[in-house]
Amino acid sequence: MKPPAALLPPGFTVELNRTVTVRDQGRSLVGGSPTRAIYLSRAAVRMFAGRLLAVDRAGSGALVDKLLEIGMADPVLDTLPAADESDVTYVIPTYGRPESLDRLLTSIGPRKSVIVVDDASPDPSDAKRIAAAAGARFIALPENLGPAGARNAGLRLVHTTYVVFVDNDMVVTDGAVAILLRHFVDPRVALVAPRVIGLQLSTRVNWISRYEDARSSLDLGPTPATVRPRARVSWVSTAFVVARVEALGAGFSDGMRVGEDVDLVWTLVEQGWRVRYEPAATSAHEHRVTFPDWAKRKAFYGTGGHALALRHPGNIAPAILAPWSVGVIVALLAQRAWSVPLALGISAVAAVRISRKLSRHEHPLRIGIKLTATGVAASVSQTMALLTRHWWPIAVLGSIISRRVRRATIAAAILDVVLDYRRTRPQLDIVRFGIARRADDLAYGAGLWLGALRGHSTAALRPDIRGRR
């Protein structure tokens, strides 16, 4: 279903996020996700108090909504009203692991509405006993439906306004649900996810656990964001989320055993709902820490690319490039004496062409150069990911027959590790971090190609090259 036409409530306040640069006495904003430039009227500029903008006059609500959608602003959490936590039901899909279920229910606490859905475990008796002891409702499915089907079975029994989906390998931290619920004062918000950090277990510490603590697939970083395809945060895991029940309809796509969370998020966004990522709230996840289990899970995630490519064409593209940035990348990969001058020349032409579309700004060429530089950096980063992650089988074959491909692939593999190590600052030496980083990409890429081969389609492997944005 589509979201209601209701407006943002008076007093709803947002702040321009750190991606945004303010220029031209406040009339030009450059930033967002993906990066863009917008021009404000003088009346719109007067609505701001520094980098803050509140819904307090005619037209301000529409501007706030626009800034949220394009990723230039985020709600100021402290200004959002508290919500009623009694209007929430927890749905927990579980399969085995009764000790993890017990730990999760303890973290949720007493006097909560909880539904435990056993997804046809070989022996559900322990889960049933633990659920009863916690005062939770217990449902045993006659056949294994996977996480999507199990969550849907629980969702059909929910009668509250909001539902919390939480997997049994999670731990709910104090105050997390209360923080996430604040976002639902925005009538377009359908789902909010917290930051997922590693659960600290002294008996399960090794080099894989330290890598996951720094660079888990589920940890989307310390910066809040509007979640949508092609944005900086393009998906969230439903290992722990709070959702508006009326927005979910029938829930997850039955039958999807991987990628069902991404599919749900993108479906909600396509319907016009808003999805938020809020790292001020955290939850803890018990990561896989044995190498075979960890690598198998990474490959499993990769296999979901094919189904997502069929359901959401274009959104799963491993790289999104403009034609001019393709020219820059091809020039650099050629590794000739003319490569850098040609790449600079193409970039200069692109900057001039972009600046011509920004004539309303006081310094269009300056903004055009910034947007072009951002595009070049993003294109180089995506090319590195293609060589080391999405297209690594091609890169390996190419390296055997081409010295230039070999140099480019080795350079990408090393540079990616160095940059990621500086960014994440893991409690792990760079050598083991690098081994884990490359193994992570190899496993995911293998799963991506396996899914493509099984589905007889290259949709999840093809980059998206577009001339207009």
| pTM (2 d.p.) | 0.94
pLDDT, residue 202, reads 64
Predicted confidence band of residue 131 (pLDDT cuts 50, 70, 90): very high
pLDDT digits (tens, 9 = 90+) for 233-276: 999 999 999 999 999 999 999 889 999 999 999 999 999 999 99
Question: Which of 13-17, 145-149, 191-195, 310-314 bottoms out in mean pLDDT, i.e. has the lowest?
Answer: 310-314
pLDDT digits (tens, 9 = 90+) for 175-193: 999 999 999 999 999 999 9
* Average pLDDT value for residue range 346-363: 92
The CATH architecture of the domain made up of 88-288 is Alpha-Beta Complex (3.90)
Predicted confidence band of residue 467 (pLDDT cuts 50, 70, 90): low
pLDDT, residue 2, reads 85
Predicted confidence band of residue 58 (pLDDT cuts 50, 70, 90): confident
Indicate the average pLDDT of the chain: 94
36 pLDDT more than 50: yes
CA-closest candidate to residue 195, choices 245, 147, 233, 163 = 233
Q: Can you tell me the distance from the alpha carbon of 384 to that of 402, in angstroms, rounded to the nearest whole number?
A: 17
Tell me the two tokens of residue 43. 């009346």
Predicted confidence band of residue 468 (pLDDT cuts 50, 70, 90): very low
pLDDT digits (tens, 9 = 90+) for 411-450: 999 999 999 999 999 999 999 999 999 999 999 999 999 9
Question: Could you tell me the sign of the dihedral formed by the alpha carbons of 77, 83, 86, 90, in that order?
Answer: negative
CA-closest candidate to residue 75, choices 135, 28, 12, 27 = 12
Could you tell me the CA-to-CA distances from 428 to 420, 431, 437 in Å, in that order? 12, 8, 12
- Span(s) in the chain for CATH 3.90.550.10: 88-288
Q: Can you tell me the distance from the alpha carbon of 395 to that of 403, in angstroms, rounded to the nearest whole number?
A: 11
* Average pLDDT value for residue range 394-402: 97
Q: What is the DSSP string of 361-373?
A: SSSHHHHHHHHHH
